[in-house]
């Protein structure tokens, strides 16, 4: 099992440490050839416009789209934006792999970042645990709606969607790499295998 982390911008190093913690081989992905031999890919949080621009500059757009057709990809925060089909504007590159509509910066500015506990049934079932998942939101997007085969994994009490899954594709508004809870990484690895 080898999982790559897109290492163009953002907090890829934190994802690498989480994967190492659960005993998974990792690779930093900056060029198309770095996708060879990977079972899955994580796209980290950061700034989705920058990640998109750099992916275009490094000729990664098509290789990433192809990789996502038959491999697991998980986008966290900016990564979730980059994975989505629709963000109600067309001025930034998107992989458009996941049938979800996302709204950027939906909770406001940096100062409106927050943390909350989520009950995520699918995650608890998959990891055989019962305690809630502590989620960290930093200038986070929300998933406005899910379409086609995409399904809701988790929503806030007010109904706003913060995690979704479409087969082997996963999107979270929050940052599981910034906690010490490895359950989301374990869940993703199970999708990749």
Binding mask 46-85 for ligand GLN (x = CB under 6 A): xxx----------------------------xx--x----
> Would you say 138 or 169 has its CB closer to ligand GLN?
138
Candidates 40, 45, 63, 68: give the one binding ligand GLN (CB under 6 A).
45
Q: According to the binding rule CB under 6 A, does residue 105 interact with ligand GLN?
A: yes
> Secondary structure of the chain in the HEC alphabet?
CEEEEECCCCCHHHHHHHHHHCCCEEEEECCHHHHCCCCEEEECCCCHHHHHHHHHHCCCHHHHHHHHHHCEEEEECHHHHHHEEECCCCCCCCCCCEEEEEECCCCCCHHHCEEEEECCHHHHHHHCCCCCEEEEECCCCEEEEECCCCEEEEECCCCCEEEEEECCEEEECCCHHHCCCCHHHHHHHHHHC
The active-site residue out of 14, 77, 166, 185 is 77
Shortest spacing between CB 163 and ligand GLN, in angstroms = 14
Contact residues for ligand GLN, defined by CB under 6 A: 45-48, 77-78, 81, 104-105, 138-139
């Amino acid at each position: 099992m080898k999982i790559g982390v897109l290492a163009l911008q953002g907090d890829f190093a934190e994802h690498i440490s989480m994967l190492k913690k659960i005993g998974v081989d990792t690779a930093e992905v900056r060029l198309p050839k770095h996708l060879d031999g990977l079972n899955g890919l994580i796209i980290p949080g950061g700034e989705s416009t920058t990640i998109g621009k750099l992916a275009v500059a490094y000729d990664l757009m098509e290789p990433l789209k192809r990789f996502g057709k038959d491999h697991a990809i998980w986008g966290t925060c900016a990564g979730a934006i980059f994975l989505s089909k629709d963000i109600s504007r067309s001025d930034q590159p998107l992989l458009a792999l996941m049938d979800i509509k996302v709204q950027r910066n939906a909770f406001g500015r940096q100062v409106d970042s927050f943390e909350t506990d989520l009950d995520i049934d699918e995650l608890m079932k998959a990891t055989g645990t019962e305690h809630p998942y502590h989620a960290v939101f930093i200038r986070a997007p929300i998933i406005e709606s899910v379409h086609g085969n995409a399904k809701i994994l988790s929503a806030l009490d007010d109904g706003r969607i913060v995690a979704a899954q479409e087969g082997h594709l996963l999107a979270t508004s929050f940052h599981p790499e910034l906690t010490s809870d490895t359950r989301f990484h374990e869940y993703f690895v199970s999708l990749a295998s």
